[in-house]
Structure 1
């Protein structure tokens, strides 16, 4: 029995959207880990061959990424990977601290046993995963996921969907810079697990001021690593 045309069209549309979502995740990961270099041109035909995908869902995936800043789009010029800069990471970090410190204060103030349990569980997983892998010192995907989960758990009890929405958006934009910071001089000496343990302890102790200070220092260390490198690159140029 033949399916009505409208059912077939609906199924095709769903399949294309699913493929676009999968491609969005793959391209985003390749941008974050540097496989697609900042500022590089994203040629649809070449990418379609690389990802073994159709041009239409790929174009939709790039359009979605353009809405979040990972990709830029210009009329008649197509798509490019979003550029990175010291100025942008400075702006992102400042804004992130305004948002997250407020969310963290509220989350600690509203802290209960369920929140503590989520936070401890998220930290337990994060603390047991290696941060990087290989000679290139690439961030492990499972660590990156656990890292996002821990920071999300810290803020999860703030009871403000808008604060959490902005925090998630800014955390997403920081991902590329976090990967970059791992390649710069001095990053191997940084004790990231100790920073997370200190954050956990301060939050569980309900020490709001200490927790916010540690969060700021945690983000500032990454930002300074990136900004020093960008400055050195500028000086050499």
Structure 2
């Protein structure tokens, strides 16, 4: 039986995490959902007050996020939210497709009934959760976790820990951009549930060619919507730099 690669569990009970780990999760989520905007300064005192936390664990949390690209750290200048660019999301998507299409092909060809059960269960949860919440159209954290779990499950029988590791890193970076694809009036017209269902059906049918084509189209659709966003066209200007969490 193929065993799934183990990823860090961000859904772990908060009381079991250190304060720095809890803050890492909270700040990461606020970057993903847009409360902390790309390029904005992360002033320790302001953030400590907002999160009701100490400066020392907060600094550690930001240092961890700097290692994954969510936060930029500069000597003498402190921390800021990692900047985004059209070039980066294009590069991430192209690289992600190379990695994940290979991993998906292997996972489908080697997947057994246990793999099928993981994929079906992950899709069932994802399909039942709303994607966004509130007038600000923020991504729901529960959906983000379920979405992550579904794509992990699809690749989980590929048999390569390195493919899974690279895929997880790229998926993490894509999460910073996903919110931008939701900030349009016509985003409701996109059938995200249908895209995931088509991917599920192709994977369970062992149709590797169709599954990889659907996965590619799924990621390309998100990327094209992101590339159309004003933040990647230089029109947001200094408002992005100075926006504070609220």
TM-score (norm 1): 0.89
Q: Which residue of 2 aligns with 1:35?
A: 35
Partner of 2:200: 200
What is the distance in 2 between the residues matched to 1:110 and 1:40? 45
The alignment covers a number of residue pairs equal to 222
Q: How far has the Cα of 1:235 moved from its partner?
A: 7.2
- Correspondence for 2:219: 219
Task: Judging by fraction of residues, say which structure has more helix.
Answer: 1
Partner of 2:169: 169
**Counterpart-to-counterpart distance in 2, 1:127 and 1:68:** 29
Q: How does 1:52-71 map to 2 (within 5 A)?
A: 52-71=52-71
Deviations 1:138-173 (A, max 9, x none): 221111111111100000000111111111111111
Q: Write out per-residue CA displacement over residues 7-41 of structure 1, whole angstroms, 9 at most, x where no aligned residue.
A: xxxxxxxx9x8111111111111111111111011
In structure 2, the residue matched to 1:19 is: 19
Segments ≥4 residues shifted beyond 6 Å: none
CA–CA separation in structure 2 for the residues paired with 1:227 and 1:132: 20
Match of 1:152 in 2: 152
Aligned-pair distance for 1:200?
0.3
- Give the superposition deviation at 1:186: 2.7
Q: Give, in angstroms, the shift of residue 203 of structure 1.
A: 0.3
Between 67-76 and 179-188, the greater mean CA deviation after superposition: 179-188
Pair 1:53–1:231, CA change in 2 (3 A): closer
Structure 1: tracts of 5 or more residues without a match: 1-14
**Residue 103 of structure 1 aligns with which residue?**
103
**Which position in structure 2 is the counterpart of 1:8?**
none
* Change in 2 beyond 3 A, CA 1:235/1:33: closer
* 1:79 alignment partner, SS class: strand
Aligned partners of 1:42, 1:231: CA distance in 2, in Å?
Answer: 19
Structure exhibiting the larger radius of gyration computed from Cα positions: 1
Determine if contact 1:107/1:158 at 8 Å carries over to the other structure.
yes
Separation (CA, whole Å) in 1 of partners of 2:129 and 2:185: 22
Matches within 5 A, 1:112-123: 112-123=112-123
CA distance in 2: counterparts of 1:51 and 1:223, whole angstroms: 32
Contact 2:39 2:80 in 1 (8 A): yes
Is the 2:85–2:232 Cα contact (8 Å) retained in structure 1? no
**Preserved CA contact (<8 Å) 2:70 2:176:** no
Q: Give 1:184 shift.
A: 2.6
SS at match of 1:186: helix
Contact 1:24 1:64 in 2 (8 A): yes
Q: Which residue number corresponds to residue 128 of structure 1?
A: 128
Indicate if the aligned counterparts of 1:184 and 1:226 stay in contact, CA closer than 8 A. no
Q: Does 1:82 align with 2:79?
A: no
Query: Which is worse superposed, 41-50 or 203-212?
Result: 41-50
Task: Give the match for residue 7 of structure 1.
Answer: none
1:185 deviates by: 4.5
Q: Which residue of 2 aligns with 1:9?
A: none
Structure 2 regions of 5+ residues with no counterpart? 1-14, 238-246
Q: CA RMSD of the aligned region, Å?
A: 1.8
SS of the aligned residue for 2:37 comes to coil
